[in-house]
Amino acid sequence: MSQHLSGQIALVTGASRGIGREAAVALGAAGAHVILLARTVGGLEEADDEIRRAGGSATLIPADLSDFAAIDRLAPAIGARFERLDILVLNAGVLGELAPIPDIAPKIWRQVFDVNVEANWRVLRALDPLLRASEAARVIVMTSRVGGEIAKPFWGAYAASKAALEMLARTYAEETKASGVRVAIVDPGAMRTRMRAAAMPGEKPETLPHPSEIAPVILKAASQDYQGIAERMRRA
């Protein structure tokens, strides 16, 4: 694989499995040093092993994004070591439960918005100075069709949270377009992930694309050639 991201510093949330892990491995193979952030230590270590086998390097940060105080401590720790951040992939998210809107428990609604919206806002807010310290930072926000293109019954909490996240990304893109920061919104579509299996238990996983198939799109959004302003991107 091309080393076109050599020397760059990337951070991927939700990097222990699924799309996050595949994004991290692809970025590492392309030459970036990847900061892996997720709750599961074992999953982080497995992702680290994959990145090293691909010739890359990584730093592991076990963290729960529902711990907002931990997010606030993130930037000083990263800044002290790296002084900048070139690529940020906001991938971590939760499904919550699929239910009619009147039946969604307030606790579940809050959990979905805490992770999918507030945690992403806090990560972006905390890391903004490091992104602006980069000559050409790229922010990649993972989304879903239900967040802005289609309305599906029973997906209310997840869909509303993704719609809010997309608008957050679009607003940040407008605020930073005069700088070197560029924002991309990546919709991977249906993929062979745990979240998809939880949402669609009757579906055959082998009929779905592997999460690695979205990696080329993420690499394109992470490149210096990408100049979009919150462009929505997906697999061809």
Which of the residues 113, 155, 158, 172 is marked catalytic? 158
CB-based burial, 86-106: b 16+ in 10 Å, e otherwise: bbbbbbbbbbbbbeeeeebee
In one-letter notation, the amino acid at residue 201 is: P
Instruction: Name every residue whose Cβ is closer than 8 Å to that of residue 135 and which is 6 or more positions away in sequence.
Output: 180
Q: Give the domain CATH number at 112.
A: 3.40.50.720
> In the structure, what pLDDT confidence band is assigned to residue 186 with cuts at 50, 70 and 90?
very high
Average pLDDT over all residues of the chain: 92
pLDDT in tens, 147-169: 677 788 998 999 999 999 999 99
218 located within any domain: yes
* 172 flagged as catalytic: no
3 located within any domain: no
Better-scored residue on pLDDT, 191 or 207: 207
> In the structure, what pLDDT confidence band is assigned to residue 121 with cuts at 50, 70 and 90?
very high
Better-scored residue on pLDDT, 145 or 67: 67
51 located within any domain: yes
The full length of the chain comes to: 236
CB-based burial, 19-38: b 16+ in 10 Å, e otherwise: bbbbbbbbbbbbbbbbbbbb
Range from 60-64, 144-148, 159-163, 181-185 carrying the lowest mean pLDDT? 144-148
The residue range of the domain holding 120 is 9-233
Residue 199 has pLDDT above 70, yes or no: no
Better-scored residue on pLDDT, 150 or 173: 173
Query: For the whole model, what pTM was predicted?
Result: 0.94
Counting the structural domains of the chain, the total is 1
Residue 32 has pLDDT above 80, yes or no: yes
